[in-house]
Structure 1
């Protein structure tokens, strides 16, 4: 499928000097140009735009955007507010209910991003109906560089669901960081250690111990400051 040419999306402020935007993004943008891809140029860097380096407190890493048009909104595991919950997100909310007794009203996780949760995928583009098709384009370099940049600001809490996320960021978490590694929330693996892992309360306990504000995980929308 083809689409009109687009101007390459500008790197979000605070992240623009990452080597990825100089060395890799121009080639990826050229390969995407004229194609019908998701989530599209307006949302491709939404995770970075909503959570600048100095605001990152928690890292949750996904794989790639949802391949169904209208579902992905540029944040890992997140969907547009009117989209029914994908199966993995249903399990995430089920674990949250068991952990903290509440869950968001819909699948839009923008309110997490506004509170410092970096919801980054290891690949930021996909073709409709073709999950993982751009996984080897070099997008993973951005994930590692972005996390390393955020680590320069403060210790971070890592929630790494599944082997893909754990391998993608291998070697980056430090002794000062909190690392929660479990099975992926997919229906195929959630009962192998994801359920009962209580990541949401554990992250908040860690943040409080550092005299930092906890994440309001279940709130349906958090107003932007100012």
Structure 2
């Protein structure tokens, strides 16, 4: 479980990660050692164009693949992700074929959770272990390479990155796509086209959100 090379210089990996790693050693945790840093592995700091922050991995074994909101290809869509796809249908007229969002990450969408580990059936159990420092440090590192679009769904994401977006960045803040809050501002927010309009204005490649290209 080594730090991804392109992110290894973050202070988190020298101070906080050794402590968390030792605490994980005797636990059966998700998404497991091979996927814990999947978001950082797929999206190095100089490639980050969009930050989409989640909370923690899905606590059902076999579902989480290390990317925020994403699931393994064979997993049925969780309710929040189903709502994300409904909004994408409205916004773009298309959606991915499965719940695996790896193709977003490969295009520069940093799909990072504020906690990168969880125990089966115990959502949020590692939320106070210090993982949140990694999310803030990763964003600051990515910002060194240019402006970033922030998609901040819900109060948790908005609070976690409070104060980091700059005037040159795009911030799209709305309600969370959870069934409990999606109708309070998530539906109709059109985050996907808004990000692509912003990228187009910079002359940058668009994100193929639906994976149709």
Q: TM-score range by the shorter chain?
A: over 0.9
The match for 1:62 among 48, 54, 66 is 54
1:196 aligns with 2:180: no
Normalised to the residue count of structure 1, the TM-score between the two structures is: 0.93
Separation of aligned partners in 2, 1:204 and 1:135: 32
Separation of aligned partners in 2, 1:34 and 1:49: 24
Q: Deviations along 1:9-46, whole A, 9 cap, x unmatched?
A: 10001100100000000000000002100000100000
- Residue equivalent to 2:13: 21
- Residue equivalent to 1:149: 141
- Please list, as runs of the form range in 1=range in 2, the aligned pairs for 1:59-208 lying within 5 A after superposition: 59-208=51-200
Separation of aligned partners in 1, 2:33 and 2:9: 19
Separation of aligned partners in 2, 1:10 and 1:50: 14
- Residue equivalent to 1:52: 44
List alignment gaps of at least 5 residues for structure 1. 1-8
Separation of aligned partners in 2, 1:18 and 1:116: 19
Separation of aligned partners in 2, 1:103 and 1:157: 20
Q: Deviations along 1:177-223, whole A, 9 cap, x unmatched?
A: 00000000000000000000000000000000000000000016x8x
Separation of aligned partners in 2, 1:122 and 1:167: 11
Q: Deviations along 1:83-135, whole A, 9 cap, x unmatched?
A: 00000000000000000000000000000000000000000000000000000
Q: CA RMSD in A?
A: 0.7
Separation of aligned partners in 2, 1:155 and 1:208: 13
1:43 aligns with 2:5: no
Separation of aligned partners in 2, 1:117 and 1:27: 28
SS at match of 2:6: coil
Separation of aligned partners in 1, 2:9 and 2:166: 23
Normalised to the residue count of structure 2, the TM-score between the two structures is: 0.99
Following superposition, which runs of at least 4 residues in structure 1 exceed 6 angstroms of deviation?
none
SS at match of 1:40: coil
List alignment gaps of at least 5 residues for structure 2. none
